[in-house]
């Protein structure tokens, strides 16, 4: 093996060791800080009973279009009525691409 090849192998091994070490340190910090218990994206996470009750209480009834069955005029009229109400809610936004669109008030995040 040439000198350049040997240096390349050493560089690869060193880079791998640095990557493993930094990943290990970051996972240790993640676990020790307690943030691992707040991560809701983990499979098997179950919300507290209080959270389930809050979701049920505040959840609005959503319209669900029938996935099977005949399409009648009544069903289409009901669907269009629900769709128009959603369109009106969207049209009511002033400057939807403004920075204020992500404000706590617009997102419904109130303390």
Task: Please say whether the dihedral angle defined by the alpha carbons of residues 103, 106, 109 and 111, taken in this order, is positive or negative.
Answer: positive
Helix, strand, coil fractions of the chain, as percent rounded to 5: 65, 0, 35
- For the chain, the domains span 1-59, 64-111
Q: Which two tokens stand for residue 44?
A: 């098997």
Would you call 24 helix, strand, or coil by DSSP? helix
Range 46-63 average pLDDT:
58
Residue that wins the pLDDT comparison between 53 and 88? 88
pLDDT at 102: 77
pLDDT digits (tens, 9 = 90+) for 3-44: 889 999 999 999 999 999 999 999 999 888 877 777 666 555
Q: Are 110 and 104 in contact (CB under 8 A)?
A: yes
What's the pLDDT score for residue 65? 73
Q: pLDDT at position 85, please?
A: 86
Q: Dig out the tokens for 3 from the structure.
A: 């000198």
Please write the tens of the pLDDT for every residue from 60-105.
566 677 778 888 898 889 889 988 988 888 788 777 777 777 777 7
């Amino acid at each position: 093996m040439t000198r350049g090849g040997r240096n390349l192998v050493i560089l690869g091994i060193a880079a791998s060791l640095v990557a493993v070490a930094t990943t290990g340190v970051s996972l240790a910090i993640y676990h020790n800080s307690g943030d691992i218990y707040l991560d809701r994206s983990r499979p098997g996470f179950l919300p507290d009973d209080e959270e389930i009750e809050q979701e049920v209480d505040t959840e609005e009834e959503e319209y669900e279009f029938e996935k099977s069955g005949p399409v009648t005029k009544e069903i289409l009229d009901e669907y269009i009525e629900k769709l128009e109400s959603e369109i009106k809610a969207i049209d009511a936004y002033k400057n939807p691409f403004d920075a204020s669109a992500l404000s706590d008030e617009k997102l419904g995040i109130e303390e």
